[in-house]
Amino acid sequence: MAAHSLEDLRRVIRRIETRRPKRPAAPPIEGVLGGELVDTGEGQLLVVRREFPLAYRHGRQPLGAALEAPLDLLSAVARAETPVEDARRLLFLDAETTGLAGGTGTYAFLVGAAWLEDDRLVLVQHFMRDFDDEPALLAALLETRFIMARRRWPTTLPHLDLLRPARRVWTSCFADCRLATLEREVIGVVREDDIPGALIPALYFDFLRSRRSAPLGRVLAHNRDDILTLVGLLGWFGGALTAREELTAAELSGLGRLWEPVDVERALGCYRGALAAGLAGAPAHAVRLHLARWEKR
């Protein structure tokens, strides 16, 4: 009886499987997200390339303003180990990863890079369609993955981190100095239908299971906007370090904090400008203390 029942069950399962419609093949990812599959010599990657004229505005900031940034001054106030000399040799880089823990379990599956070229900004995104594509993406991954692959990490490349000067300028202005906050409050960009960064790894893992690539369009847009914001911030700093006319009292105070370890006279000028612009309350008291300390010397 048991054997007969088991065979009946198998027949039922076979009937169900034959009735189940086959899942249609996923459309080619390059047709959904744009771009093309490129053979790097170590495997294929989806590469999406876009170009923006330098007059293009990301929020209030024209991209071309980054070319006017005094990189020697910015390198000094940002405490860059190696001065950055030419804006056209800068690479604006942002990566989306499978997690923030780092180490051997973290993969960068989308690496976006942009640079200034002639009269435009070129932005190229490299997408890893599966973990097997990692060798084609190693040049843009974290140091831990360079070590695992026994490849030399290019430590001698100049690196300009805008987070340090951003914190000094805006730490008393906003609740935090995350890129999204600076983008909204400083650059003037309000993203529509943006995906929170915390949800991005889950979308990638869903793609690996289902091969449905359409939802990843929001991930590429998120990465692209992050890079444009980096370019915009560089342009903002360039203007702020050379001309103070359009800055708020709080921003002048922040620039004073930024300049103080590097150039005291510039810092004092910013502090005085902040008070003249109407800085009040505790921030004004702190600025007066800074002025008094330096004027006693």
pLDDT tens by residue, 105-117: 788 899 999 999 8
Question: Does the pLDDT of residue 218 top 80, yes or no?
Answer: yes
pTM beyond 0.95, yes or no = no
Q: Which residues does 35 contact at the CB level (< 8 Å), separation at least 6?
A: 46, 47, 48, 49, 125, 127
Q: Which residues does 39 contact at the CB level (< 8 Å), separation at least 6?
A: none
Question: Does the pLDDT of residue 83 top 60, yes or no?
Answer: yes
pLDDT given for residue 216 in this prediction: 95
If pLDDT is split at 50, 70 and 90, which confidence band does 296 have?
A: confident
Mean pLDDT for the chain? 84
Question: Domains of the chain: which residue ranges?
Answer: 29-161+190-243
pLDDT given for residue 167 in this prediction: 87
pLDDT given for residue 62 in this prediction: 95
- C-alpha closest to that of 259 among 274, 269, 244: 269
pLDDT given for residue 147 in this prediction: 46
